[in-house]
């Protein structure tokens, strides 16, 4: 998140380029790659163990999915259709084997125990007499009638979309999924989604017959909602930030002028943290953000390009943050009406990214006016922070979060310095949770500080990984459920936890220097997301930097979901 990360990652990238350009394969590639459908939308990939291998790097559907120590890997939540996998072995010296042939499997989404599909190997570029050529192409299981055809959508007034499809013979109703979530069932061949955010939305539909059997899923249809469409005598959507999509929740929660959310005391665990008392909390049970606790600006030291509005790009990222609480009237007029990334469902907050409707160019400026910067960034997203509201030195900081599993996402929960250069700072940063969306099995912990900071010098960077490595891997896909990420910050020591279990620890007197405030954000793309592969990045060639056109075609409005944020101090 800070400048020293950029230097560190640049060094790793240059080292990786030099290494791979001279490397001979010092370890054998895994043999017999294979896959089997073992559950609903779930594939188990396997290969034979390689002597001397300490890890295996797995690529599924052309995307680097990370490392595993075992000769197997599970891919979940897969779409109906073909999926592919290749794998490399990694030796103890960091050397990589060549890539295996590609193995493919057709996922039916109609899985039943005892009838799992099996994979076949494709040796690209080989003669047609290969085993791969003789292997059958597995087809989807049939429920007796076809999926709805010709799915389509039309934007209506007040950010609605009317979804339609052709009737299926024998269907009694249709099951509709919008933006990846079950939306409802209808007996008609249309369904209307209301109150959508400005940006791209998707829909798929299944036919259901009288006995309850379901067809396979239709093709995905996408509609970009502008907020400017009208139909009949209806008036277009007002030029204000779209309201959060919540019909439940406490409408008065955003008006409570207290750092502690009164709802926190309804949860027994809040009163059971031995030796600690609550000093800050938000349960996000309302319908909007509380401006007494939060601002919506990703402050970055506040000394470059003007400290108030922060119109710049950090870490090569691809989002522009929507500041709904901005003091800049231009931002309120031009940006906020386009999209509100802060969405509530009555029990939690989602910070959701969307394609930027203001993008008109592909400039790579790192700072500039609001118009310049907003017109070049690919996505709109959000950040919340307690800067200038609440900060604390030492204590227990925790948030219950569900990270997105989406290529290009870079969510974070972190603590950052309140003081600026002339106020005496070491630009301290404690990263409680960072993740790269293409590898939801890895959580990163780290500590940063700078020595000799002045108003004319950014300081000498220090990037410290906690023990044992700062890269947490337990085999868990952290995007599948909510998990509680926390640090206990004591004099000279920081301890990281996931779901109450210690995962990292650091002992260093530099952690004592200054108070820190809380922030959470959903970044998109950036230097770390792309490179290097051995630090969790995609490891893409420079001409395929995220987002490519394929990335944009597959973009599905990912969200960082936050159930609560709580901060405690010692009694």
DSSP string of 255-287? G--SSS-GGGGGSGGGG-STTEEEEEEE---BS
**Sign of the dihedral through C-alpha 470, 540, 357, 155:** negative
Cα(504)–Cα(446) distance, rounded to whole angstroms? 9
Homologous superfamily (CATH) of 31-134 is Immunoglobulins (2.60.40.10)
Instruction: Indicate whether 101 pLDDT > 70.
Output: yes
Confidence grade of residue 59 (pLDDT, cut at 50, 70, 90):
confident
Summarised one tens digit per residue, pLDDT across range 289-342 is 999 999 998 887 554 444 445 688 889 999 999 999 888 888 888 898 889 999
pLDDT at res. 9: 44
What whole-number distance in Å separates Cα of residue 403 and Cα of residue 352?
11
pLDDT at residue 483 greater than cutoff 90: yes
Q: Mean pLDDT of all residues in the chain?
A: 82
Look at the pTM and tell me if it is higher than 0.95: no
**Per-residue pLDDT reduced to its tens digit, 24-54:** 567 999 999 999 886 656 788 899 999 999 8
**Residue 192 CB partners (closer than 8 Å, separation 6+):** 156, 160, 161, 162, 163
| pLDDT exceeds 90 at position 440 | yes
Residues forming a β-bridge with 177: 182, 204
Could you tell me the two tokens for 552? 């944009």
| β-sheet bridge partners, residue 144 | none
The pLDDT-based confidence of 140 (bands split at 50, 70, 90) is very low
How far is Cα 184 from Cα 355, in angstroms, rounded to an integer? 26
**3.65.10.10, 3.40.50.460, 2.60.120.200, 3.40.640.10: CATH of 253-308+335-360+381-570:** 2.60.120.200
pLDDT average, residue stretch 187-200? 81
DSSP-assigned states of every residue in 228-253: ----TTPPPPPSSPPPPS-SSSBTTG
Nearest-CA neighbor of 122 among 103, 98, 100, 99?
103
CA distance 47 to 33: 4
Strand-pair partners of 460: 451
User: DSSP assignment, residue 361?
Assistant: -
Task: Return the CATH fold of 152-225.
Answer: Immunoglobulin-like (2.60.40)
What gap in Å lies between CA 277 and CA 474, rounded to an integer?
Answer: 31
Domain 31-134 and domain 152-225 have a common topology: yes
Domain extents in the chain: 31-134, 152-225, 253-308+335-360+381-570
For the ranges 104-118, 353-367, 395-409, 507-521, which has the lowest average pLDDT?
A: 104-118
Token digits of residue 494: 């920081």
- Average pLDDT on 241-253 reads 60
pLDDT tens digits for range 496-547: 999 999 999 999 999 999 999 999 999 999 999 998 887 889 999 888 999 9
């Amino acid at each position: 998140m800070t400048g020293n990360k950029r230097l560190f990652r640049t060094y790793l990238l240059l080292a990786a380029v030099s290494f791979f350009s001279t490397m001979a394969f010092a370890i054998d590639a895994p043999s017999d790659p294979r896959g089997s459908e073992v559950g609903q939308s779930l594939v188990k990939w396997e290969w034979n163990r390689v002597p001397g291998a300490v890890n295996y790097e797995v690529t599924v559907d052309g995307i680097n999915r990370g490392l595993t120590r075992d000769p197997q890997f599970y891919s979940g939540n897969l779409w109906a259709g073909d999926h592919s996998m290749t794998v490399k072995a990694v030796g103890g010296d960091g050397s990589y084997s060549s890539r295996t042939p590609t193995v493919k499997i057709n996922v039916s989404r109609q899985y039943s125990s005892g009838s799992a599909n099996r994979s076949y190997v494709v040796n690209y570029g080989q003669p047609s007499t290969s085993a791969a050529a003789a292997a059958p192409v597995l087809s989807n299981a049939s429920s007796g009638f076809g999926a709805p055809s010709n799915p389509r959508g039309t934007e209506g007034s007040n950010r609605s979309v009317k979804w339609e499809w052709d009737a299926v013979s024998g269907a009694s109703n249709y099951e509709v999924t919008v933006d990846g979530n079950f939306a409802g069932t209808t007996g008609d061949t249309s369904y209307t989604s209301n109150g959508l955010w400005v940006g791209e939305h998707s829909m798929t539909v299944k036919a259901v017959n009288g006995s309850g059997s379901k067809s396979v899923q239709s093709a995905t249809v996408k509609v970009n909602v502008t907020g400017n469409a009208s139909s009949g005598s209806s008036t277009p959507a007002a030029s204000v930030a779209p309201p959060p999509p919540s019909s439940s929740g406490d409408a008065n929660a955003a008006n409570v002028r207290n750092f502690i959310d009164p709802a926190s005391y309804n949860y027994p665990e809040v009163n059971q943290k031995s030796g600690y008392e609550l000093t800050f909390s938000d349960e996000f049970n309302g319908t909007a953000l509380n401006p007494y606790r939060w601002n919506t600006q990703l402050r970055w030291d506040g000394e470059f390009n003007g400290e108030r509005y922060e119109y710049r790009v950090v870490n090569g990222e691809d989002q522009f943050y929507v500041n709904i609480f901005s003091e800049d009237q231009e931002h309120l007029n031009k940006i906020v009406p386009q999209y509100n990334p802060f969405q509530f469902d009555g029990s939690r907050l989602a910070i959701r990214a969307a394609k930027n409707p203001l993008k008109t160019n592909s400039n790579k400026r790192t700072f500039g006016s609001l118009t310049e910067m907003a017109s070049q960034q690919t996505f709109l997203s959000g950040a919340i922070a307690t800067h200038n509201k609440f900060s604390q030195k030492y204590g227990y900081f925790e948030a219950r979060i569900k990270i997105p599993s989406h290529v290009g996402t870079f969510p974070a929960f972190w603590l950052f310095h309140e003081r600026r250069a002339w106020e005496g700072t070491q630009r301290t940063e404690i990263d409680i949770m960072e993740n790269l969306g293409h590898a939801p099995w890895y959580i990163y912990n780290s500590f940063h500080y700078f020595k000799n900071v002045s108003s004319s010098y950014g300081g000498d960077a220090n990037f410290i990984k906690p023990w044992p490595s700062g890269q947490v891997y337990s085999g868990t896909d952290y995007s599948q459920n909510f998990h509680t990420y926390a640090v206990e910050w004591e004099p000279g020591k920081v301890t990281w936890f996931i779901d109450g279990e210690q995962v990292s620890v650091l002992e260093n007197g530099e952690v004592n220097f200054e108070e820190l405030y809380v922030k959470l954000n959903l970044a998109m793309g950036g230097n770390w997301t792309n490179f290097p592969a051995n630090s969790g990045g995609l490891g893409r060639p420079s001409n395929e930097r995220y987002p490519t056109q394929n990335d944009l075609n597959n973009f599905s409005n990912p969200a960082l979901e936050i159930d609560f944020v709580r901060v405690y101090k010692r009694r």
